């Protein structure tokens, strides 16, 4: 009999309410702290700026000068300059990346490593690709693995741009040309975050089901929501002038497309996509295996048919959380591709019931369509009407029967949370009006609190109440 462990359920159940509470707080703090215009002083210290090798990771200490990103107050003229403090904040998710290495040494991290028999987690390549900056291109003298997921893990190795990126008259494009990673572009950001928040084919960046079974928490991600949770910059007028205004719906939708592409591409990779005689289980929807056995004469099976996944009973389902959301977004923002995407995703599930070769080729086709959607979203308008239409689609009669399992349902709750925040951030709904209905979003989070006590029917009620309350803001 397969059962999820209590540990797994426990860690997830605390998290959603935690994530949700902190997100609202982060948005409010962001709104009340607008910095002035101006250009950054050219007097910043550059510690190891002479390092000139392309993309070398020079280490957090190189960013931490008190006239650089190490201020104790957000008094910088262009950027806050207290980014280091926020990255280190022990009391909030903005500090999660600075703790990423330390958790490997914690009792939980070491217990996972002991079960896997890989020695100390703090030295294990299997863990360090995500729990520190893997710095594949090389490390400078001030680089320390123990800094965890440092600035350059996201912003790119600074070897070639450290000394030029604060020069007067410098531009973002010039920095990017020197190797700064363009996190302001939704697709680029999605690829970067998903390397660790889903997995990649680079060394040490894959959490297999073996790692999960050793006690690793389930990895769940939504680009826009998680970006807000770790945010250490202000989107003030000069940010908008330099990089443009962030469109949160686009960020969300592109995040879904890139996640679908990533999952099927990694699954197609024979090294990552198989484990012994089995497919790599990490790609499958956890609860489609981790259910109780119901085989008595009066038992009512836990399994429910799902129109999005045409597979026979008794088969685990590929995790389709991002496919469901992408379908809802495509119908609104890229209607010409929506039917193709739905057909490709059904064909992929069906192929999984045949053989690996068919599944790989159907998966790559699906991934290609997801890529086209990411491109189409980039050129689409996603404003007020689109947000409301996507909210409608998420709880529509077409989508609702696809919420048979936990993973897709969690992703849907994160989506309605993000879409409500996008209405506020886009200026379409006031924060006061949004606050009036946040209780319904909280109730939807509660319905996905515990994967081991998930009930699709209860979830659907909570989701449709949440979407109805958003609709009331129209």
Segment 144-163, which members bind ligand HEC (CB under 6 A)?
Answer: 149-151, 153-155
SS (H, E, C) 32-49: CCCCCCCCCCCCCCCCCC
Q: How far is the CB of 355 from ligand HEC (least distance, A)?
A: 17
Count of residues interacting with ligand HEC (CB under 6 A): 77
DSSP string, 391-447: HHHHTSTTTGGG--SHHHHHHHHHHHHHHHHHHHHTTSS-HHHHHHHHHHHHHHHHH
Does 199 engage in binding with ligand HEC (CB under 6 A)?
Answer: yes
Q: Give the C-alpha distances (Å, rounded to integers) separating 368 from 5, 34, 203, 285, 361.
A: 36, 41, 24, 22, 11
Residues 264-323 that bind ligand HEC (CB under 6 A): 281-282, 284, 286, 288-290, 316
- When the beta carbons of 107 and 432 are compared against ligand HEC, the nearer one is 107
CA 76 to chain centre: 29
Nearest to 232 by CA among 419, 36, 92, 426: 92
Question: Binding marks (x or -) toward ligand HEC, 410..449, rule CB under 6 A?
Answer: ----------------------------------------
Does 183 engage in binding with ligand HEC (CB under 6 A)?
Answer: yes
Longest dimension (CA), the chain: 78
Q: How far is the CB of 2 from ligand HEC (least distance, A)?
A: 5
Q: How far is the CB of 401 from ligand HEC (least distance, A)?
A: 21
d(CA 248, CA 258): 15
Residue among 49, 96, 114, 473 that touches ligand HEC (CB under 6 A):
96
Does 79 engage in binding with ligand HEC (CB under 6 A)?
Answer: yes
- When the beta carbons of 180 and 334 are compared against ligand HEC, the nearer one is 180
Does 100 engage in binding with ligand HEC (CB under 6 A)?
Answer: yes
Query: Burial code of 182-219, b = ≥16 C-beta within 10 A, e = fewer?
Result: bbeebbebbebbbbbbbbbeeebbbbbbebbebbbebe
- When the beta carbons of 193 and 258 are compared against ligand HEC, the nearer one is 193
Q: Which range of residues in 26-34, 129-137, 337-345, 432-440 is near ligand HEC by CB under 6 A?
A: 129-137
Question: Binding marks (x or -) toward ligand HEC, 210..229, rule CB under 6 A?
Answer: -xxx--xxxxx-----xx-x
Which residue carries 């069906």 as its tokens?
A: 350
């Amino acid at each position: 009999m397969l059962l999820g462990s209590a540990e797994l359920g426990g860690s997830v159940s605390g998290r959603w309410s935690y994530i949700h509470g902190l997100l609202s707080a982060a948005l409010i703090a962001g709104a009340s702290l607008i910095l002035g215009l101006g250009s950054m002083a050219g007097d910043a210290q550059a510690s190891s700026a002479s390092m000139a090798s392309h993309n070398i990771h020079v280490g957090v200490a190189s960013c931490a000068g008190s006239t650089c990103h190490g201020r104790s107050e957000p008094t910088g003229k262009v950027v806050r300059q207290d980014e280091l403090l926020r990255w280190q904040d022990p009391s909030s998710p903005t500090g999660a990346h600075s703790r990423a290495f330390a958790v490997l040494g914690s009792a939980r991290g070491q217990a996972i490593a002991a079960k896997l028999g890989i020695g100390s987690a703090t030295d294990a390549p299997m863990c360090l690709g995500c729990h520190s900056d893997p710095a594949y291109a090389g490390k400078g003298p001030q680089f320390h693995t123990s800094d965890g997921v440092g600035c350059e893990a996201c912003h790119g190795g600074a070897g070639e741009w450290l000394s030029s990126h604060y020069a007067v008259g410098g531009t973002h494009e010039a920095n990017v040309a020197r190797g700064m990673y363009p996190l302001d572009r939704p697709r680029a950001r999605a690829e970067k975050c998903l390397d660790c928040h889903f997995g990649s084919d680079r060394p040490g960046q894959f959490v297999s089901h073996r790692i999960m079974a050793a006690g690793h928490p389930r990895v769940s991600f939504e680009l826009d929501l998680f970006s807000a949770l770790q945010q250490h910059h202000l989107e003030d007028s000069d940010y908008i002038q330099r990089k443009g205004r962030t469109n949160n719906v686009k960020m969300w939708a592109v995040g879904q497309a890139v996640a679908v592409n990533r999952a099927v591409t990694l699954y197609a990779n024979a090294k990552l996509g198989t484990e012994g005689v089995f497919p790599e289980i990490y790609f499958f929807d956890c609860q489609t295996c981790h259910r109780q056995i119901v085989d008595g004469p009066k038992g009512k099976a836990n399994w429910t048919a799902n129109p999005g996944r045409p597979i026979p009973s008794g088969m685990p389902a590929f995790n389709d959380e991002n496919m469901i959301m992408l379908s809802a977004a495509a119908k609104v923002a890229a209607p010409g591709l929506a039917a193709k995407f739905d057909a490709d995703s059904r064909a992929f599930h069906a192929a999984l019931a045949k053989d690996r070769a068919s599944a790989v080729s159907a998966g790559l086709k699906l991934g290609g369509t997801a890529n086209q959607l990411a491109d189409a979203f980039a050129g689409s308008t996603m404003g007020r009407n689109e947000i409301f239409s996507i909210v409608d689609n998420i709880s529509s009669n077409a989508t609702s029967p696809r919420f048979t399992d936990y993973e897709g349902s969690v992703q849907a709750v994160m989506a309605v949370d993000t879409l409500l925040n996008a209405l506020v951030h886009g200026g379409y709904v006031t924060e006061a009006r949004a606050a009036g209905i946040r209780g319904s979003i909280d109730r939807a989070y509660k319905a996905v609190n515990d994967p081991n006590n998930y009930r699709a029917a209860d979830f659907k009620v909570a989701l449709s109440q949440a979407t109805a309350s958003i609709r009331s803001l129209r």
